[in-house]
Structure 1
Amino acid sequence: MRTLRAWWEVLDEEWKRIFETVIGHQLVQEPDNQELQKLVNLEELHCGATNITTLEPLRALTKLQILGCFETAITSLEPLEHLTNLQILGCSETQITSLEPLRNLTHLKVLKCYATLIKDLEPLHNLPQLEVLDCAGTRITSLEPLRSLVNLQILNCGGNDIADLEPLRNLNHLTEVDCSYTKVTNLEPLMALPHLRKLSCKKTPVSVSVRKIEQFKRQCPQCQLPDLWYQHVL
């Protein structure tokens, strides 16, 4: 317990406030041993839209499965690199620049990292359980690392400087893809995906081609394409 006590004592006031919320009451004195144990055994924590600047206190929370730290001033996910039980992570609208700390978190199923400064999805290539990925509005230029994510079901990669959907060709569990506001010119890699039910591709080079869109609709009739500019004309 001495180690837990030392962990608590170095927390800044914002983190103490967050953990007080978890405990369920404002502490008038230092937390007791039972309360400290409860904190480090947390499986779910929401600290989004707070004034935290670091995730450093979470190194000790090795049982954590769900973490929401969106809309904060954090710049790094490095404190999470050994939290191998993590399954759901929301770190959108932060200042993070790399997903490298997630490389070995093989139980991760949901990752929402939109509106961040990340440039590369490569650290995700060996996360076979990933089912949902939202990396919209980042700085990525390629979907190549996603080729091996055979369980991916929902992908939002809109608002990025990407042009090629080829890496998605064999991701047969995909049900939704959003590639709006990108440089995508060809939907052919998606045409044979058996479970694809929704594709958003507005404001792309391909979205202005009636011929290409109609070809896709013939090949993938079960898939909805919302927001087509001509859908109320033809």
Structure 2
Amino acid sequence: MYQLFIANKNYSSWSLRPWLLLTQLDIPFTEQLQQFAANNYHNFRSFSPTGKVPCLHDGDVVVWESLAIVEYLAERHPGVWPQDAVARNFARSACSEMHAGFGTLRSVCTMNCGVRVALQDPPAALAKELQRLDELWQQGLQQFGGPFLAGTDFSAVDAFFAPVAFRIQSYGLQLSAPAMAYVQQLLQLPAMQRWYEAALDESWREVSHEAEIGNYGRVVADYRRL
């Protein structure tokens, strides 16, 4: 059985992507959760060659990048990518864009599932990236009919944008009506709700991740239970 090494569910957007894909597609795996902490790089190196998460183990095979994990799973399981060639091309392109881009969104609206944040003077580049995000989502929803980005079924492209749904919820970001409906579609997935509830139950805090919020905003609500 696969072992998926992830970090704190409250913070780790990259961990969410393969976790959600495996869970949503009912692919059996064992979760190995490691806490983010100062000087934990060497501990992470014990299972990941980069000292980062996510990292997938399949027996002696180690796959340590989220896109590589997706492709590894796609070779072994149906449903990771859409069957339709046009939809599959869109999904792969959108995943690659998410993987490599949206740097301002990542840095300004860091993932912290359990809080709600009021942004204060965000950089202008954030609005440009949100406009592009909205455009991309509407393209997929309109071209392939929804309710997911590449058609009727959940696939890897939805897993890659799932952390953005949590960011939109946490920071009160506003997009077009179709894009916001898609956010709700993701947030209401049972697997997403499982992740969210587990994030709220985490008792540990990582100082640097908490401090990042103060760069561009202030916490107005904290729903974490511990």
Q: TM-score, normalised by structure 1?
A: 0.24
- Based on CA coordinates, which of the two structures has the bigger radius of gyration? 1
Q: Return the structure number with greater helix share.
A: 2
